[in-house]
Chain A
Amino acid sequence: MNIVSTMELSASGLTAQRQRLNVIAENLANAQVTRTPQGGPYLRKNVVLESQPFEDFGSLMESPVKVAVTDIVENAEGLVQEYDPSHPDANEEGVVTWPNVNPVTEMVSLVLASRAFDANIAAFRAGKAMALKALEIGR
């Protein structure tokens, strides 16, 4: 397999991890939002990563796969309910619904995404170093 295609593969990993990072940042920023334009609290978002084969390979069995973010889904489970009649967004029973964003969980995901990003960069650098070494043949 071409070393250049391998590096493109790492590129897809970088893009995917960065998008994941963006979504986590959005979750953290909106962790206390009780009023969204759609009404109701902010719903935690999650990325769906999918493997996609390269287009220009004939046999799909051995072809390497790259990763892509196919969907960003909202998760409505685990919304926190709190009894606070004084809050402007409280409903008729005085209950406020807070987003289901747990900062601790999000921070862990942040670190994981960041590490994955670094790993992809390391893989890319290794591929580039190999290609450059190949250019030294016969020097």
Chain B
Amino acid sequence: MQVNPSVNQEIIASSLSSSASPPSASQGKNLFSKMLTEVNGQQRQADAQTKGSLLGETDVHEAMLGLEKANLSLRLLVQVRNKLVQAYEELSRMSM
């Protein structure tokens, strides 16, 4: 399984507890960019599997699983981005 659950849990935990203890900006950014590359890789793999299934080289269920994995990772990434943006807005409100 491509998506590393422990990494994602780290990100979610750190971004959810942003109001209590502001995390270092660089730490959040690194984890986020790591997730980004992962999602990108999964998208590419799902694309390749789709093409393979059309050609008859890859099994259909493989391609479907790949597409679903890519979908879920993307949705997780979007949620994480939302939380990060939320945290940033809270922080900027605090400093006023």
Contact = CB atoms under 8 A, between A and B. Distances in A.
Interface of A: 2-5, 131, 134-135, 137-138
B93 interface: no
B72 to A, nearest CB: 8
B58 to A, nearest CB: 9
Contact of B64 (A3, A4, A134): A134
A5 B71 CA distance: 29
B47 to A, nearest CB: 16
B50 to A, nearest CB: 13
Nearest to A134: B61
A4 B56 CA distance: 8
Interface in B41-57: 56-57
B67 A3 contact: no
Interface in B38-96: 56-57, 59-61, 64-65, 67-68, 71
A138 B59 contact: no
B60 A138 contact: no
A138 B71 contact: yes
